Structure 1
Amino acid sequence: MTDPLPVVAPSSARLLTAEEFRHLASVPPEAEWFANITNPSTQRAYRHGVGDFMRFTGIARPEEFRAVTRAHVIAWRDELGHRGLGGSTVRHRLASLASLFEYLCNRNAVTHNPVKGVQRPRTESGEGRTPALGDHQARALLAAPADDGIRGKRDRAILSTLLFHALRRDELCKLRVRDFRHARKGVPHLRVSGKGGKTRYLPLHPGTNALIHDYLDTAGHGDDDGGALFRPVRNNRTGRLNAAITPDGVYKLVRAYSAALGFEIGAHALRATAATNALDHQADIAKVQEWLGHANIATTRIYDHRRTRPEDSPTFKVAY
């Protein structure tokens, strides 16, 4: 990927030096685009996608993006297909490149976006690939942490938070102690910092509320309002226990408990389970969209399996 922006030492007591101003004024728009992406997951995905395109085309300097044509993009798309990548992956790679060129167009660095008009692979179906658990599996997972110490109580609270509130891993890791103490019209709410800096407030499930209180009483950081809500039980590298559990830690936690139950899944499957369960029980899809923090309701429909249930098929409505 392109080089990051020059580092400017933070200080509230001075203005930019002439050297710092000169460096920032000379930043290529390509580097500026990447630095403007604040979500770590999006950064990783876009770095991977654009980096792959740069390797394919041999681009080594930011200004070389301005010579890219639609033919280059089509050739790259076809190469991704020849590698055996799925349609969804190819679409994501093209989306990362399109985002870069859209930014360059807005900055008048290029005259057009060469990704526009490039045919993208169709999605295989309107259903997501992430598996959703059955009710009996979800109940078993909630009861899986048998330890009654800090780890067991923390893990039960984490699993309940994921299964009843459909959070992304990053969203769960960003939770602060104060974020589960909001109330609206007398109902406890969870304050969630989602994608794009958007904040949403979710009614807190009573069972989750009780599990979090139990965890905090045992862990002892319930008074640290600004501190991380869910923390590692131990940290051998730093010896500090006040940092938040990492997204990778959440993934491994879910993976371990589910594998022990005989159905190994990732953390995102719990988000899919919550969304699917809510829709199956007749939750309004617009409310579920807001609950999940989706910008587009089409993304929410991926979790709506009601139209594919065999019992609802016209086959069983036919009567002779």
Structure 2
Amino acid sequence: MNDTEKTLPTVSQNRLLTAVDFLRLSEVPPEVEWFANLTNRCTRRAYENAIRDFMAFTGIQKPDEFRTVTRAHVIAWRDDLTQRGLNGTTTRHRLSALSSLFDYLCEKNAVIHNPVKGVKRPKHDSLEGRTPALGDHQARKLLEAPDGDSLRTLRDKAILATLLYHALRREELCKLKVKDFKHERRGVPHLKIAGKGGKTRYVPLHPAAGGLIHDYLERAGHCSDDTGALFRPVSHNTKSNGGKGITPDGVYKLVRAYSGKLGFEIGAHSLRATAATNALDHQADIAKVQEWLGHANIATTRIYDHRKTRPEDSPTFKVSY
């Protein structure tokens, strides 16, 4: 045995990858690697739509054909997106997806530069978000919308309260485990939230939401199933479902159904916008709100800050003769 062989660790004969699988994986193009590394479901779907659109526009058929893309191709695609009537936000997101791919290819030395860099992107359509936020009276009506004391009603009340009092994304709500509801920090109950990008944050549990979650768990009977989902489909809310949670689509439909009956049909993200706007309107520190929402950039949080645009705060009403 030579010196090199002596330094190698002993390997079991029962290898998990066959020789064929090992060779196949070593030949995976970096373009495919990049997509496989997208773990967030929503990001993966959005980026896939963007890359497919670019491939259809340019006629790209194989992964390695991305390495011949130039800035001129990207500019032509951007102009085509605009001509198709896509708004500025959608166009920027699609360019960001393509830029992410080329950043990865640069890192892997598959290309020498990112052709998306330097391509002018559409300006922001507005400093305000497009997601509508509810007024206080509408939020109160929505919290009271589930009527009765059935298991479904108790669950829906708890879900709406959790969204409206903690500004969670629907995916974050669906990821909540029973044990995530049982955290305490300095004697105060907290929710442990698995946010975007694998980031975890702890948010104090609002007493109103906490009481509703307790009522739901008591009726549902899975309070001791710590590793199971906190919110589950009512049709199989027992241990037989393996502790699986309600889906993001289920949360979306739930919010649409209750809000629709009240005459203002909205999506689940509007409840996040409502909570953020309400907190800022009641003088919450914007840096704290940024942390609360799990935003990487405070500019995103400012979208929900309408204090500078409220008519009652205009200098017009400060003038006195």
TM-score w.r.t. structure 1 length?
0.93
C-alpha contact (below 8 Å) 2:229/2:244 kept by paired residues: yes
Structure 1: distance between partners of 2:269 and 2:130: 11
Structure 1: distance between partners of 2:142 and 2:47: 33
* Secondary structure of the structure 1 residue equivalent to 2:101: helix
1:107 to 2:88 alignment: no
**Mind listing any 5+ residue stretches in structure 2 that lack a counterpart?**
1-11
1:74 to 2:55 alignment: no
The residue that corresponds to 2:186 in the other structure is 185
* Secondary structure of the structure 1 residue equivalent to 2:202: strand
Structure 1: distance between partners of 2:274 and 2:106: 40
* Secondary structure of the structure 1 residue equivalent to 2:234: coil
Give 1:210 deviation, angstroms: 0.7
Structure 1: distance between partners of 2:165 and 2:107: 41
1:16 to 2:17 alignment: yes
Q: List aligned pairs for 1:129-168, cutoff 5 A.
A: 129-168=130-169
- After superposition, the C-alpha distances for 1:229-251 in whole angstroms (9 at most, x for unaligned) are 00001159xx8373210000000
* Secondary structure of the structure 2 residue equivalent to 1:222: coil
1:53 to 2:54 alignment: yes
- After superposition, the C-alpha distances for 1:8-39 in whole angstroms (9 at most, x for unaligned) are xxx9x745332222111111000000111111
Structure 2: distance between partners of 1:148 and 1:242: 23
Q: 1:222 to 1:235 in 2, by over 3 A?
A: closer
Deviates most, 15-24 or 142-151? 15-24
Displaced runs of 4 or more, over 6 A: none
C-alpha contact (below 8 Å) 1:233/1:241 kept by paired residues: no
Equivalent position amino acid for 1:294 in 2: H
* Secondary structure of the structure 2 residue equivalent to 1:52: helix
The residue that corresponds to 2:210 in the other structure is 209
Equivalent position amino acid for 1:220 in 2: G
The residue that corresponds to 1:120 in the other structure is 121
Q: List aligned pairs for 1:1-320, cutoff 5 A.
A: 14-234=15-235, 240=241, 242-320=243-321
Structure 2: distance between partners of 1:132 and 1:59: 41
* Secondary structure of the structure 2 residue equivalent to 1:254: helix
C-alpha contact (below 8 Å) 1:232/1:241 kept by paired residues: no
Identity of aligned residues (%): 73
* Secondary structure of the structure 1 residue equivalent to 2:201: strand
Structure 2: distance between partners of 1:116 and 1:319: 52
C-alpha contact (below 8 Å) 1:235/1:241 kept by paired residues: no
Structure 1: distance between partners of 2:306 and 2:120: 28
* Secondary structure of the structure 2 residue equivalent to 1:21: helix
Root mean square deviation of aligned Cα: 1.5
C-alpha contact (below 8 Å) 2:88/2:123 kept by paired residues: yes
* Secondary structure of the structure 1 residue equivalent to 2:191: strand
- After superposition, the C-alpha distances for 1:86-123 in whole angstroms (9 at most, x for unaligned) are 11011111110010001101111001111111111111
C-alpha contact (below 8 Å) 1:66/1:109 kept by paired residues: yes
Equivalent position amino acid for 2:26 in 1: A
* Secondary structure of the structure 2 residue equivalent to 1:191: strand
Structure 2: distance between partners of 1:165 and 1:217: 22
Give 1:147 deviation, angstroms: 2.5
Equivalent position amino acid for 2:189 in 1: P
Structure 2: distance between partners of 1:174 and 1:147: 26
